[in-house]
Structure 1
């Protein structure tokens, strides 16, 4: 009895197409061996392979001319901020132009859409919706607050010292133009509502959620990324708050628990306090009730907080 030859290294660690198998020298009979699983039409995988979203998306993109990865799948591959109930989704979504036949493949959620060429890109060999188009596609599925959080991350200005880019993925104007091009898309009304609530300056989804909770509680719109010394590039900043009330609000996420970060945060807060500001620090524990306790604390401090004289005299602010 002949020993079965191992799969070529190019096919042994991820799904592959029938054409790739033929190119690697595999016969149809070899593809029927028990170390190969037939996934769907012209798609195979090693029997030992464990599901990995990017690899699945890559091979689906390869075997689906005219189609691209979209919706939740695109958001996950772009590492966009999804709500917890979707953050580990293994759904496989593909879109195609309306004038082409719909993708018909087992386990794939297919969409027929109207999309411009600049709403699709190729990343590491995968045809995929841009982050902005993905945001719009998800408007029908996400809540308004979730959509605002996703949008805030698209328009935020990255910190060059921590990220390999210096420009936002898109702007409010760019997203508004995108929405205007698709007036009949399901979810477009919610997308328009989200645009009205999105702001540049939120570094995380919880910061966006806290800001929205403040607005829902009829608090004044907070400033974002408040520099203690506006003309000093090295100035400590507050995530949000009210300069004219000297109230700084910080949301400290999980990485703030690291000792080095805790020391940095304490120096940051001390700088504000030394300048006469009140500093309120909230964490993930405060998010569990929708920031209701945080809102109560902010309201309590605003009742007695210092106020800039130009505001109290009516010469600044919105009245």
Structure 2
């Protein structure tokens, strides 16, 4: 039984025999509309995310789902922080990140998985994504940069600046004197929105912190005949040395693995040495940095 037109319970399809909604919904509203019963809400077909906010048990248990659920708690509330970045397709936070909910003057308490903030946002600081009010990419980047430690702040601004297409320097003019703004200049100086994933940003920052020269990003490589050989996450053009971050899918996805091997062969034929970086090597950035510095020294000779 689909929802009647004009009713917004946060769920497009809630039925009494069970819940088939891919989106979170308010339980009491669904009950009052005759779409579910208490038994259904307490049964095995639903999962409770927040007080009176439920979702079908088949729905993914991820930050996006929790963000949509939190947005239903307070009318007019705005999702911020890592949850806003997730909805803006600029994923940059941990999978278990709490949802930031900006509630204006409402008195709502924080609870596990939910961080409530009383703040007043300008109209130009809010955008609607998938039916949810979220802070804009620029405002989200500002909030995270002011709150997170340096590396994760740069990770967040890299991702949000790439998606939001704004210059990191614009953050310096937002809310002068606000808490945490003193750390902004250092964060902004380290940002490069050409990074295509948080691990790439962490790799770049780890290498630079170990004394490796700042690499260029998304380097396009051509062979001796001018034929495009591939693009490298980060590299040093003169030495023709590159570093590529390889997530688990590069190892477990056979199609991706074959594609990687063919591309690495093309890059090698073009004279490039590619050093792989993984989550494991990032735990020992000194070892990775030693490999890179050794390769740069050998190539320079």
Please state how far the C-alpha of 1:296 moved relative to its aligned partner.
0.2
TM-score w.r.t. length of structure 1: 0.71
CA distance in 1, matches of 2:40, 2:259: 58
1:33-73 Cα offsets, whole Å, 9 max, x none, are 99499x75xx4658989995655544543452332122243
Mapped pair 1:65 → 2:72: no
Aligned residue in 2 for 1:221 = 214
Question: Residues 153 and 204 of structure 1 are in contact (CA less than 8 Å); yes or no, is this contact kept in structure 2?
Answer: yes
> How many residue pairs were aligned?
277
Which of 184, 201, 207 is matched with 1:208 structurally?
201
Secondary structure at 1:201 match in 2: coil
CA distance in 2, matches of 1:234, 1:123: 37
CA distance in 2, matches of 1:152, 1:95: 23
Aligned residue in 1 for 2:260 = 265
Alignment of 1:159-308 (within 5 A): 168-171=163-166, 173=167, 175-229=168-222, 234-257=228-251, 258-289=253-284, 291-306=285-300
CA distance in 2, matches of 1:34, 1:62: 17
CA distance in 2, matches of 1:293, 1:135: 31
Please list every run of 5 or more consecutive structure 2 residues that lacks an aligned counterpart in the other structure. 1-13
Please state how far the C-alpha of 1:124 moved relative to its aligned partner.
2.1
Which of 93, 101, 118 is matched with 2:100 structurally?
93
Question: Residues 244 and 275 of structure 2 are in contact (CA less than 8 Å); yes or no, is this contact kept in structure 1?
Answer: yes
Larger radius of gyration: 1
Please state how far the C-alpha of 1:202 moved relative to its aligned partner.
1.5
* Cα root mean square deviation, aligned: 3.7
Mapped pair 1:123 → 2:123: no
1:233-284 Cα offsets, whole Å, 9 max, x none, are 9541111111112222222222221333233222322223223333322323
Question: Residues 139 and 147 of structure 1 are in contact (CA less than 8 Å); yes or no, is this contact kept in structure 2?
Answer: yes
CA distance in 2, matches of 1:59, 1:170: 28
CA distance in 2, matches of 1:46, 1:280: 44
Question: Residues 119 and 130 of structure 1 are in contact (CA less than 8 Å); yes or no, is this contact kept in structure 2?
Answer: yes
Please state how far the C-alpha of 1:186 moved relative to its aligned partner.
2.1
Please state how far the C-alpha of 1:295 moved relative to its aligned partner.
0.3
CA distance in 1, matches of 2:110, 2:265: 58
Cα gap change, 1:286/1:20 in structure 2, threshold over 3 Å: closer, same or farther?
same
Cα gap change, 1:190/1:87 in structure 2, threshold over 3 Å: closer, same or farther?
farther
Please state how far the C-alpha of 1:221 moved relative to its aligned partner.
1.4
Question: Residues 11 and 21 of structure 1 are in contact (CA less than 8 Å); yes or no, is this contact kept in structure 2?
Answer: no
